[in-house]
A and B are shown apart, each in its own frame.
Chain A
């Protein structure tokens, strides 16, 4: 435009504009607060009535199944899986929730818990389940892509396993969770080994070998 070309002003204003952009960084702040009564709660997904997001960007909702641990849900019935567990794992009675249950003992009194459960459908998808497990170790949820990329995959026959290895804290102690999920018969089966960090690390190879024994159960007559 003529007036822009003829005028020296736009050019002379440029340094001013660039100077305006050079704003200072925020500085550390110091303050004193009464000691917190509440423990720091793990960040949990948010559901918004204006789904999928609150107007100014609250943390994203992930999936309803994140709260599954404390919510009564239907367990899967139908086709079952069978497995062969190491003899040193102490079998516990199955319950209405658990298809299989074992106590894995280590040195001293340290024990880890292996739970085998199955729920209808995909239970919200892999990422939601990874985040549910993360929540159990006081880790905050991950975006879907990151949660999925944390999974290691392998197949045993027709069964396609996705395994995640998480490290965090439980009851204030370092804890570790190795979890596997496998879709089978319209349900998702979960194999979760959780316990003290060192013990679960030691048992992880046995757990992975145990997963190799999982197969569809022979139909009952």
Chain B
């Protein structure tokens, strides 16, 4: 009987595993493409490719049904590396193949790292406005902002996922506990009709506002508007139940023990050690049409230590790279004085370029070697035999 380690080795270096994984990969892409109709591009990526296991709902249960992209890609990576290590024999005429495979391995690693590390955010700036934070596209947070201090705000930001799971939040910076009683991933707010049942909210906007749950939207041009009823509880009792919603722009406030908090349910913020101001947004159209010709944002970067204080021009295909972030010109608002910059943090952004370079080089070498060999073999065959000169007597 083979030892476990031999079995493990044989499993990972197997060419059959390669074929099986490629088949799994094709099935995964096929299923994800079909499901994109229901879930949209972002949810599909998370469900099928940026996951270890693909789950489905069956009768209220969450059932694993298929290996996810991380498993298929990860095993393919291990398989590729293991097979090379196991069967490795260096020959000059195999350099092209080795380089091509090295490029493929790097591409897989790059995708894995992008999946793990890449963060997409946005920065929305009106002319003259300065921000030192970027905002998430899809994640929200409930910010409890203590405004007691005259100079600073002390913020405790609770991720939406904790509200969704109705996790009780007890943070050392808060003299109360936050309990989520109801959570709607998507909702619409309406004026509470006089005959509606009593509101779950006991304070704030929710007393006179009705939050009606809506189906979650996966359409690429729509966003969900989550709402929740949260209660703040101290050892002395409840401070009230508030309706929080991303649709409220104005904050709600409450006071406890001489300290005041604002409650804001907003897109998740990521504060940066520098500030960006929009100096000027420029927008040109093709003459006589409404079709955008080009648009650009002149921004000013400023770090608190004064080391950076400069302007930069961001326009299509000319992003600004700063502090590990890349700022792309992504959109603008209708007033044409407000810009929307896509902000990407991807420490592994260079890997796909290096990988493609390696693969190109490898294929060129490999085909070059074959071509040279082929030409070399053909040349003697093409030489027409010339009759030997007659011997002179």
Residues of chain A having any CB pair with chain B under 8 Å:
1-4, 7-9, 17-18, 20-21, 25-38, 40-50, 52-61, 64, 66-67, 70-71, 134, 138-140, 142-146, 149-150, 165-169, 172, 174, 176, 197
Contact = CB atoms under 8 A, between A and B. Distances in A.
B352 interface: no
Contacts of A35: 147, 151-153
Contact of A60 (B8, B165, B221): B221
B165 A25 contact: yes
A40 B248 CA distance: 11
A17 B64 CA distance: 10
Given A17-B67, A35-B151, A57-B137, A138 B250 contact: yes
B264 A40 contact: yes
Nearest to A56: B120
A172 B262 CA distance: 14
Interface in B268-317: 271, 292, 295, 316
B271 A53 contact: no
Nearest to A63: B334
Given A53-B220, A138-B250, A18 B64 contact: yes
A48 B156 contact: no
Contacts, number: 201
B338 to A, nearest CB: 7
A25 B167 contact: yes
A176 B191 CA distance: 9
Contact of B222 (A31, A47, A144, A172): A144
Interface string B324-339: 0000101111110010
Contacts of B20: 1, 4
Nearest to B267: A43
B274 to A, nearest CB: 14
Interface string B153-193: 11111110110010101011100000000000010111100
A108 B262 CA distance: 31
Contacts of A149: 188
Interface of B: 7-8, 11, 14, 16-17, 20, 42, 51-53, 64, 67, 70-71, 120, 122, 124, 126, 129-130, 132, 137-138, 147, 151-159, 161-162, 165, 167, 169, 171-173, 186, 188-191, 208-209, 214, 217, 219-223, 225, 246-251, 264, 266, 271, 292, 295, 316, 328, 330-335, 338, 340, 342, 344
B157 A28 contact: yes
A214 to B, nearest CB: 22
A208 B217 CA distance: 33
A44 B333 contact: yes
Nearest to A204: B191
Contacts of B64: 18
B336 to A, nearest CB: 9
Given A31-B155, A139-B189, A172-B250, A57 B138 contact: yes
B155 A32 contact: yes
